[in-house]
């Protein structure tokens, strides 16, 4: 299973599945974003916030299905968060994504106790 090191934390496709709903919730808050300018992301380009949402969903699905690497996916999400001002810096982005992962793992571990 491919994994990626994110500021001393290991992320896998399973982690993406777990944090996807939380990331989507944050993505839906975006009103303005700079358009993509990197050729590397030509499979998931966007021009504005409206076109970014379906591109994000497609990138997430592709990452979960293994069509793009976990590292590339995390970098893609980081670019979205920073260029839309959801996160002002790399360190805040990585802190938030680790927090979302911990929350998702907690919910997953305790879903049968309710």
| pLDDT tens digits, 33-64 | 988 876 565 678 899 999 999 999 999 999 99
* 3-class state of residue 1 by DSSP: coil
Q: Is 28 exposed, middle or buried (0-12, 13-18, 19+ CB in 10 A)?
A: exposed
Indicate the burial class of 77 (C-beta count within 10 angstroms; 0-12, 13-18, 19 or more). buried
How many other C-beta atoms are found inside a 10 Å radius of the C-beta of residue 67?
Answer: 13
At residue 8, the pLDDT reads 41
- Average pLDDT on 102-108 reads 89
Q: How far apart are CA 42 and CA 66, in angstroms?
A: 17
The predicted pLDDT at position 11 comes to 82
pTM of the model: 0.83
């Amino acid at each position: 299973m491919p994994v990626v090191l994110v500021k001393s934390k290991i992320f896998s496709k399973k982690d993406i599945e777990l944090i996807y709903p939380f990331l989507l919730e944050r993505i839906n808050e975006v009103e303005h974003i700079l358009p993509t300018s990197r050729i590397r992301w030509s499979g998931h380009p966007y021009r504005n916030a409206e076109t970014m949402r379906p591109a994000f969903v497609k990138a997430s699905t592709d990452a979960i299905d293994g069509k793009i690497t976990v590292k590339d996916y995390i970098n893609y999400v980081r670019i979205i968060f920073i260029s839309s001002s959801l996160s002002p810096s790399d360190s805040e982005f990585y802190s938030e994504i680790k927090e979302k992962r911990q929350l998702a793992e907690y919910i997953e571990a305790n879903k049968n106790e309710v």
